[in-house]
């Protein structure tokens, strides 16, 4: 389905478009506007979807990237990105403490912060970015999805118990 032509010149149009990225898409991307039709969305389609949303003035954009949700909301001075993690908070202090231990090194390396969604009781990554154009929005989406993948693998590794070697106490020395 072709999109309606944009009016105005790129310099006078709000949220002026940038040339589409070149190369094959690296992820399976779905927009809430194409749901439930599960066809894959190319990175060029993501760019067009984000541009349409920015031009529309709607408050929120819901995306499905790698079959996981990503939400972008308009804030007062920029955009708020939220990427829920699959790990649910069980309500205990131990699981929250484990996640917070991992968040210290993460905040030094990544731009999104770990948060707890009070409605869904899920851990999520949240990032605020002042609006600078469509290309930076795409860059933030890619970085946030990559960060979410790292968090998912860290939480999965933290959930699995660590096997410790069994050593007989009677020997006193380790011969391993």
- In this predicted model, what pLDDT tens digit does every residue of 121-150 receive, in sequence order? 788 999 999 988 889 999 999 999 999 988
Express each pLDDT in 23-51 by its tens digit: 444 444 444 433 333 334 556 688 999 99
Which CATH number covers residue 125?
A: 3.30.1460.10
What DSSP string runs through 47-67? HHHHHHHHHHT-SEEEEEETT
Residue 175 inside a domain? The answer is no
For residue 170, being part of any structural domain is answered with no
Q: Is residue 173 part of a domain?
A: no
| Cβ–Cβ under 8 Å, residues 69 and 81 | no
Give the domain extent around 139: 29-157
Most confident of the following: 78-82, 110-114, 115-119, 164-168: 78-82
Domain annotation covers residue 1: no
pLDDT digits (tens, 9 = 90+) for 56-107: 989 999 999 888 899 999 988 999 999 998 876 677 777 777 777 777 767 7
What is the number of structural domains in the chain? 1
């Amino acid at each position: 389905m072709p999109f309606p032509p944009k009016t105005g010149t790129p310099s006078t149009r709000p949220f002026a478009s940038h040339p589409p990225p070149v190369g094959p898409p690296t992820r399976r991307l779905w927009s809430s506007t194409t749901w439930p039709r599960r066809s894959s969305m190319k990175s060029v389609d993501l760019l067009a979807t984000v541009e349409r949303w920015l031009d529309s003035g709607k408050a929120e954009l819901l995306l499905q990237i790698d079959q996981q949700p990503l939400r972008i909301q308009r804030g007062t001075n920029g955009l708020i990105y939220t990427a829920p993690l699959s790990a649910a908070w069980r309500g205990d202090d131990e699981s929250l403490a484990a996640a917070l231990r991992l968040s210290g090194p993460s905040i030094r390396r990544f731009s999104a912060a770990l948060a707890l969604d009070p409605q869904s009781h899920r851990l999520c990554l949240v990032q605020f970015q002042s609006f600078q154009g469509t290309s930076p929005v795409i860059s933030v989406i890619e970085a946030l999805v990559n960060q979410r993948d790292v968090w998912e693998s860290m939480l999965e590794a933290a959930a699995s118990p660590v096997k410790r070697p069994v050593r007989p106490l009677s020997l006193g020395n380790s011969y391993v």
